[in-house]
Amino acid sequence: MDLVANTLLSAGASPAMLHTIEEIPDFTPHVRALYVNVGTLSANWLPSMKAAAQLASQLGKPWVLDPVAAGASGFRLNACLELVQLKPTVIRGNASEIIALSRASVGPTKGVDSSHESMDAMEAARCLAEASGAIVAVSGAVDIVTDGRRVVGAHNGVPMMQKITATGCSVTALIAAFVAVDPLHAFEATASALSVYGIAGEMGMSMAKGPASLRMHMIDCLHGLDQAALLSRTNITALS
């Protein structure tokens, strides 16, 4: 939650972190976008996640799902499937998470790390996008984004970003912020957020000595990112 909040603040967004179901009716109507992350899933928190997603959908507000370790347990997978039924605008996960969610069965996932490459999950992502109506993003060496028909790849980022916990959670939050700004172009907003986060990682890596300093510099670079850097560094290509 710390890195997620700092990522959003650095990008100019205004996050609020909620868990209790009693606050959902007061907060959700006022948000520009909702982000549901199942990373620290519990039976007590799931009802508030579902209530927030349902209310966001009813109000026509975009919402984004991060199905953390979706295939690691039956409870976690079923919870993610229930959330998918509530029509997220975007689903972002690593390859193993997206494959497990697409297959809707407990597969050999490796917790929140990915034992698959993003390109391995392209067909699973397409199927999930078609079945759910969501934009599906798969993080990896190349970040994949698909709406079931179009597929693009965002080629920005550095391998050491995978050595920092919650970078996946944070880029999903950034996707939610981008979609909040341009909800009618969620596909483009998702690809742009992935590229921007990767650019911040590239710029931060030039000053970093390891994962801890990369975390700090990545936040600083995201905050200071300007148009010139975006135009020169953005690397998004059509894959289909």
pLDDT at 159: 96
pLDDT by residue (tens digit) across 18-71? 999 999 999 999 999 999 999 999 999 999 999 999 999 999 999 999 999 998
For position 240, what pLDDT does the model report? 79
The whole-number average pLDDT for the span 94-105 is 87
Residue 41: per-residue pLDDT: 94
Residue-level pLDDT at 107: 41
CB 188 within 8 A of CB 236: no
Evaluate if residue 13 carries a pLDDT over 50: yes
Which tens digit of pLDDT belongs to each residue from 111-144? 444 556 667 799 999 999 999 999 999 999 999 9
pLDDT at 104 over 80: no
- pLDDT computed for residue 117 by the predictor: 64
Closest CA to 69 of 24, 33, 37: 37
pLDDT tens digits for range 180-237: 999 999 999 999 999 999 999 999 999 999 999 999 999 999 999 999 999 999 999 9
Side by side, the strands of the sheet bearing 63-66 are: 34-37, 63-66, 90-94, 135-139, 143-146, 151-154, 236-238
CATH number of 2-238: 3.40.1190.20
> What is the per-residue pLDDT for 110?
45
Q: Distance between CA atoms of 12 and 161, rounded to whole angstroms?
A: 21
- Map the chain to HEC letters: CHHHHHHHHHCCCCCCCCCCHHHHHHHHHHCCCEEEECCCCCCCCHHHHHHHHHHHHHCCCCEEEECCCCCCCHHHHHHHHHHHCCCCCEEEEEHHHHHHHHHCCCCCCECCECCCCHHHHHHHHHHHHHHHCCEEEEECCCEEEECCCCEEEECCCCHHHHHCCCHHHHHHHHHHHHHHHCHHHHHHHHHHHHHHHHHHHHHHHCCCCCHHHHHHHHHHHHHHCCHHHHHHHCCEEECC
Residue 105 clears pLDDT 90, i.e. is over it: no
